[in-house]
Each structure stands twice: as structure tokens, then as C-alpha cells.
Chains A and B, each alone.
Chain A
Amino acid sequence: MRPVSSLSLSPSVKVRLVSAGFRFTSDLRGLKPLQLSKEASLSQPEALEVLQTVRRVVGGDEGGGGASASLTALELLQKEEEELRSIVTFSSQLDAALGGGLPVGKTIEICGAPGVGKTQLCLQLAVDVQVPSCFGGVGGQMVYIDTEGSFLLQRVVDIATAGVRHCSLLAEDDEQRVAMETFTVETILSNMFLVRCHDYVELLAELHLLPGFLSAHPRVRLLVIDSVAFVFRRLFDDLSQRTRLLNDLAQQLIAMATRHKMAVVITNQMTTRLRGGQSQLVPALGESWGHAPAIRLLLHWVGPQRMAAIFKSPAHMDSTIQYQITSEGFRDANQCEQPQSKRPRRHTNQPAASQRVTSC
């Protein structure tokens, strides 16, 4: 039994229903559209829609597995352990800082000054998400929404080639060797779906149609938008409209990340804010956008070194790591010879994850 006010109906319909005395879904059960339209002074199509909505909601509740069925925290934890594996990157320091890689089912924002490596990290993740599961990866597909035109195939092929070479050096047992036969540059490219959006309307349209695409491609585990800021920062006179659209967009992304069990990576530019006569670099798109992503990763320069800092995350400590962009992609800064460590896993119920990708 749900109060009528919680249904997804237009406000005017809800007001009329409540003022006619229909306060819970159970009050509406067994009514005919004609009856309801008379009693609540609704038009017939409206009444029909109300009854259909009620039937859908009630049916879901009786089925037991409805969307609103609550879970305990323990159940959630088990579900996460089973379903939501992280995307391992080729940088062991970044993996460690993120607690085992990029979490699937979350939204992650990457911000930084031009040229610091935002696009490089996005392209790297596009390859990382496809690492086969016997190497500890997710083995998924991905969608890349490019708004800046910076998805250059030359570079993607570089990074994919390096990724394949890296994994082929790690392959030890038969399962991994078999997996390597299908983990090639060609398959990596065939599992990357590219869209170019030239303005914010195209981006909004694409995001609206994406759930349909994701249902048809259930193996998609990563969505990259590079970058949100590029289309939303120009030609906007009405800043309040921009804020509203960005809020809608953030809601859509979070819903998609949760429903389709994928990581959503968005990039953002930096802007200068003047405060007390001092200029300061802050992520663009305003204060309220900062609440949208679950994790914010800030890439920045310290002298000649590239650094990545996690500065918002509910699950991780604030930490800063060093990285570098090599010809192979996004890698740890000091390429010392680390032994391939088996990453300790709290629950060893995953025989497949015998060896996880680490940077060497």
C-alpha cells in the first residue's frame, strides 16, 4: 500500500485524487476508469493512466522482487562482492588508492588543467575495462561519448596494443592463454562504441537514448563522457537553466550507473576563482555540480611531476599518487620492477581471479 502522493503522476492529477479522497493505492483498486474520472473529476485518459500506474506499482509489490524492496546492508555487501567488481587500471598506485580499481556502479569525475592527462586516463580506462576476467578484469564493453573531438584512433591503438602486450606477458595458465586469443587490438576496438556530440542538446539526446542501447548491450561496464564541461561551458546565457540541466544529467548518470552496473567517468575542466585577491584553480561547472559524482579525481602538476588526488569519495581516504603518461598509456610514475603480486582478496570465492593485472 503506497500513498497516492508518492506515485509518478503529474502534480495536478495527484491533487485532484487526494482532494477526492483517494489517499492510498488500495483506495483505487477495483475502480473502472469511467468511475474514477467522474469521482475525481479527471479526464478519461488521465484516469486510465492513474489506474495503469497503480496496477504496475501494486503488481510489483506483490511479486516480492519489486524495485522498492529493501535490502539489508549485509545483503548489499554480498551483492556488491558478487556483481560489482572493480575495473583494474594499469597503475597499481591508482588501484590501491581507489581500493582495487575503479568501482563499477559509481560515477567518477576526472578534472584537471589542459594537457595533464584527462583524456589519456579515459582512453586507458576504455582499454582496462576489457581486460578478461581471468586476469582479474571485468571483460566488459564500453561507450565513449566524445564532445571535444579528442578521441584519436592512433592513440587508442597505441594504448590497446600496450595493454595486449602486457597481458600476454602475464599469461601463465591455459585459461589465460585461451583468453588471450580473443583479447586482441581488434576485439578491443570492436567493444568500444564511440559517439561524437557537438553541443549539449546532442549530449542530452544521446543520454536519453542510451538506456535502450545499454539494454541491447548488457556487457557495457563503462561509460566515458569526455568532456561534460566542453559543451556546457559555452553559449549559456541562462546559468540557472544550465544548473538545472546539469542536475538532471547527473541524476540520469547515477541512475544508469546503478541500473546497468557500470562505471560512469566524466571529465571536467578547471577554472579560475578569485577569492580575497588570490586566484585559485577549481573544477568548472559550479558548486552544485560537485555533489553529482561519487568520486572526484583531480589531476595536477607539482613541478615536473603529474599527480592524481582523490578529493571526494565516500569510501576512500584522501590520497595523492604520482603517475606518468608514457607511450603505452597511464602508468605508475616509478617503473620499478615489482613482483606480480597476487592482490589479497578478503573472500577468496573467486577462483578465476587467480592473478590480477598489476603494473610492472
Chain B
Amino acid sequence: MGKTLYQKLYDSHIVLEAQGELPIIYIDRHLMHEVTSPQAFDGLTQNNRKVRHSERTWATMDHNVSTQSSDINACNEMGKIQMQTLKANCEKFGVPLFGLGHQWQGIIHTIGPEIGATIPGVTLVCGDSHTATHGAFGALAFGVGTSEVEHVLATQTIKQARLKNLKIEVTGKLQKGVSAKDVILAIAAKLGTAGGTGYAAEFCGQVFKDMSMEGRMTVCNMAIEVGAKVGMVAPDQTTFDYVKGRPYAPSGKDWDEAMEYWKTLYSDEDAVWDKVVTIDGSSIEPQVTWGTNPGQGGSVNQPIPAPDDFSDPVEKLSCEKALKYQNLTPHTSLTDVKVDEVFIGSCTNGRIEDLRAAAEVLKGKHIASNIERAMAVPGSQQVKAQAEKEGLDKIFIEAGFEWRLPGCSMCLAMNDDKLPPGKRCASTSNRNFEGRQGRDSRTHLVSPAMAAAAAVYGHFVDVRTIL
């Protein structure tokens, strides 16, 4: 019987599978940031343990960093302590750190692929649920908690039960103006936030074959938003071209050996799937979420639902609660909903292709008068440098956007970039949970092009009509 890509990667990383115990899995790559690591390092110190492979571990600062100044004193006091703690821990345990001011600093999921730490065939973890991003390379990548971070630091392994296999197939070709973000939001609307719980998801079909690495990362990034902590795309020439020549990627003879191996990384024809979901890619329209979880969304042209549209009592209650929080009226149109702020960035949509897509919409235009603030936050120093080389920063600034420094920023608002109470934001981030961008604030998840269009018109519009 054939295997899925997930099964191939899982099985080839088993260190030990003892009777009645959870299998011990080898972890090839470990990425870290300042928020979920201090207690793990602390645990090592308390138990007099070392980092087993500091050369397989990389760290950066992203959640707390100010997007207005690279001076650590620009961060709030607690955030500053957390970042200083990371620096001290990295020095003590010999872990490479790309901190403030470093040319490779940025959101951990943006920089992993950029530096070539993320490659096909590896197991990769990080104390962050959006670690699924790295599955775009055909890596087995998933978010872990701080106890597991400590376990990986000490042993370079993790104990993990096998996940079930979910195939998400998107066929056909996407329409112009429809992006990777719309694809994953459409998947979330169909599956719901728990449809992938207990599964490793693989994204298959022509749409992903045609998709860039940036797009694949956007899709895999949000696998966790349907409950799947693993999301992956089988590696192909697009993947290999992206990886080749990156600082930590294999080179020379190792590259040849790697290529031999990487070409075996796909789900076999006769692999057995526990669940299959198929979507016609050509039917996907630009998406906007209306609710308070990523599954509560749909096409920008669909009316906002009413609680009575749902037969399941739990979903009905959930819809009612969400509409109240979001201050939306059932059966009205999303294109009539006015927006106060626009946020373009995050580990979902802070890569160069995202900034290009937004800039294409913004070029020669200006944000609407009701937009109180519009921010463009590159995912990393490298993305920022590339965007500036292409003159995208000027397009954003001339359109009335603030051009910021790299970091997680208003995706989770741990730094000072917060959405004020009652304000509504068109956001390219990944979560529209209550209070996510600031207490009592309202988030609508969209693609970069849709966010830019909302900025120009002051309300949601179908970006296909203006391209």
C-alpha cells in the first residue's frame, strides 16, 4: 500500500516506537521567537540540561518588535525584557539569533525559508501555530507548545501521535484577482475551524501546482485555521528553484543527494486518505470574513448570513455572537461595510508577492478619506529591502500608507500597533478572533489586493472589478 507525503516524512523520522508509548520523532530544524521560548530555556537551566543541537536551531525577534524603530527601547517594558531574555538565552546556549537590526531579522515564518533553514523533507517545529507555513516546501512542520520546545531543545526529538490524512484538492485555474489567501479562506469557509483537527492536510491539484512558493506558504500558513496543525504541498521544480543558493540550504554534492531524495516526496497514487475535500478553483471569488473565526467568511459578493441560516444550534449561537461582536446586520452586503483601518503584513501575507499585489492596486491612487490608518508591514528585512529596490515603498507612501519595519505587528497586536475599540480593519492577517487586533476591535480577513482595494474605496469591494 502506498503512503501519503505526511506518512513518508513521519515514518522516516521515527527514532523509537516502543509498545504502548508515543513514538519519538526526530526534529531536523527548530525555529524560535521571544514569546514562547523563555520558559523552555528556563527549564533547561533548572534541570542542568544543554541544547542538543544549537546548529539546528535559529531564533529571531518578531512578536514584540516595534515597527517604527529598531531601538529595543521603542518596545514596551515587558516586551523589551522578553527580547533581552531571548538574547541572553541564545548567547548562553549558542543558538544563532537574528535580532533587531540584523539583515535577516523578521517574522520567524518569513525568514526560515529565506535563509534556507526550511527545505523539503525535514521535520521542523516552532513554538508557534503558524509553523504549518513551512509545509509549503514539503517539510513536516507544525506548531508546538513551550514544553515541547524544551523537549526539542534538550533531545532534538518530540513525542507525537500519528495524524490522519486529509487531502484538500483545488482544481482548475484561479481567476485574475483571486489569490492564495482567497483559496485558503474559501477552504476555511467550507471546512470550518475544526474540519482539519486531527489531520495532516496536503494541498493538491492544479491550483497549487501553478502557485508560487509565496502563495503556497500563505495557504499552508492557515492550515491551522481549519484545525490542521500540518499543511503541506509536495515539492516540485518551483520549490527547488526557490531553495537553491539560500545560505543554509544544501549545496554542491549535498544538493545532488538532496534532489535525489526530494524527488521521492509525494503522495503515492495508491495512498489512503481518511478524508478528501475537493473545490473547483475557478469558482473561488475574492473572500472576506464576516465573523470572529476564519471559517466565518465567504465571497465578498455573498450577503452576511443570519443566525437562522444555520441549522446546527452551536453554529447558530456562534453566528449570533459573532454578528453582535462585529456589529453587522444579517443579510446586508459586505461591500457596504465601511472600514476604518487597513493592515497589510503578517506571516500570512507579508512576503514580496503580497506587497506587489497590493501595490498594483494602489499605484496612482490614494486611500479613502474615512481610512484613519493604513499600514504596510513587510514580513522581514529581506522583503523590505526587495520592496524598496522595486520602489513599492514609494507606491504605498504616496497612496497614504505608513511604511513600517518588519514584525508581527497588528496581526496579534502584542507591540504598540493596536486597533482601537470599535474600529474595523481590513487585514491580511490570519485570525479574526475577538480582540485579536486590540480589545473590542473588529477584524475582516482578506487578501493583500482586497485590503488595498478596501483602502482606496473605504469599504470592501470586489477587487476583480477594478483590476
Say whether A and B bind each other: no
Q: CB within 8 Å of A: which residues of B?
A: none
Q: CB within 8 Å of B: which residues of A?
A: none
